[in-house]
Amino acid sequence: MHAADLKLVQGMRAGQQRAFDEFYRTYADRLAAFAARRSSLDAANLQDIVQNTLIKAIRNLHGFRGEAALFTWLAHICSNELADARRLAARRPAQSLDGNPGLLHEVEQLQSGSNQEPFAALAARGQQQAVMKALQALPSHYALALEAKYGDGLSVEDIATTLGITPIAAQSLLARAREAFRAQWGDAMSAPTLAEPAS
């Protein structure tokens, strides 16, 4: 039972502004990062995803019973939003660069080399995608714990609070998650990837 999360949700349902402030402060940035790692959407679309996720969560606060951590629940809603966005994008015809100023700018930056070396940028993106793929193959609580620690910069104590476990248990969970990730990463690296084409 995630008592602290349940209390926060009860506070929001009772109309406590402090509870809403804490909810937004704690989860908006983390959800934005969660969505960014799982998609190549631009900033505006990511905002929509986070906004829709939080709005859907607020509409369904009565359904949160504290059986899972609040972030796990939000991440689940966010994953569904991302899947919807992907389905929508798949139905849309390909757009020209003229109709997509953000992409055009990105391509121009890559072409001019003003931001980063284009190949280095592509390699970095490829590695990010490979890491995410390896994470997604792990049990979801391992992936969320690693993202919280290395992506969101949460302390072990904060992760423990989020997951409703002791700091020692959180430390141990992180060690197991890293071990599982290493194994998964080794498997992933033995297969050909975009970042490292097979020779």
Partner 1 sequence: MTGLRPPDDAASRSEAATERLLDSALATPRWNELDRARVRRAVEMEWRTALAAAPRPAAIRPRWHAAAASAAALLLIIGLAVSEHSSNHRGAVLGQVARTLDGGMSLHAWGHWSRTLYAGEPIRVADRLSANGPALITLAAGGTLRVASGATIKISALSQVTLEQGLIYVDCPPEPTSCGALSVATRIGVVEHLGTQFEIMSDDQWVRVRVREGRVRWTAHSGPLLVGAGTELLATSGGRIAQQPVPTYGRLWLWTAALAPDYPIEGRRLTDFLNWISRELGRPIEFADNRARQSAGQTILHGSIQGEDPLDALAHVLATTSLRYELADGIIRVHSNP
CB-nearer residue toward partner 1: 33 or 122: 33
Instruction: Spell out, one character per residue from 136 to 175, where the chain touches partner 1: x when CB under 8 A holds, - when not.
Output: ----------xx-xxx------------------------
Question: Closest Cα to residue 74, out of 16, 23, 130?
Answer: 23
What is each CA distance from 135 to 55, 131, 172, in whole angstroms?
27, 6, 18
Question: Closest Cα to residue 47, out of 36, 58, 57, 63?
Answer: 36
CB-nearer residue toward partner 1: 12 or 163: 12
**Alpha carbon distance 152, 29 (integer Å):** 8
Identity of the residue numbered 171: Q
The interface with partner 1 within residues 5-64 (CB under 8 A) comprises 10, 12-15, 17-18, 20, 24, 28-29, 32-33, 36-37, 43, 47, 50-51, 54-55, 58-59, 61-62
What is each CA distance from 172 to 69, 76, 112, 165, 169, in whole angstroms?
18, 24, 46, 11, 5
CB-nearer residue toward partner 1: 12 or 90: 12
Residue 36 CB, nearest approach to partner 1 (Å): 4
Residue 24 CB, nearest approach to partner 1 (Å): 5
How many of the other CB atoms lie within 10 Å of CB of 86?
13
**Alpha carbon distance 133, 103 (integer Å):** 24
CB-nearer residue toward partner 1: 88 or 90: 88
From candidates 132, 156, 169, 188, binder to partner 1 by CB under 8 A: 132
* Cβ(181)–Cβ(135) below 8 Å: yes
Q: Which residues bind partner 1 (CB under 8 A)?
A: 10, 12-15, 17-18, 20, 24, 28-29, 32-33, 36-37, 43, 47, 50-51, 54-55, 58-59, 61-62, 124, 127-128, 130-132, 146-147, 149-151, 178, 181-182, 185
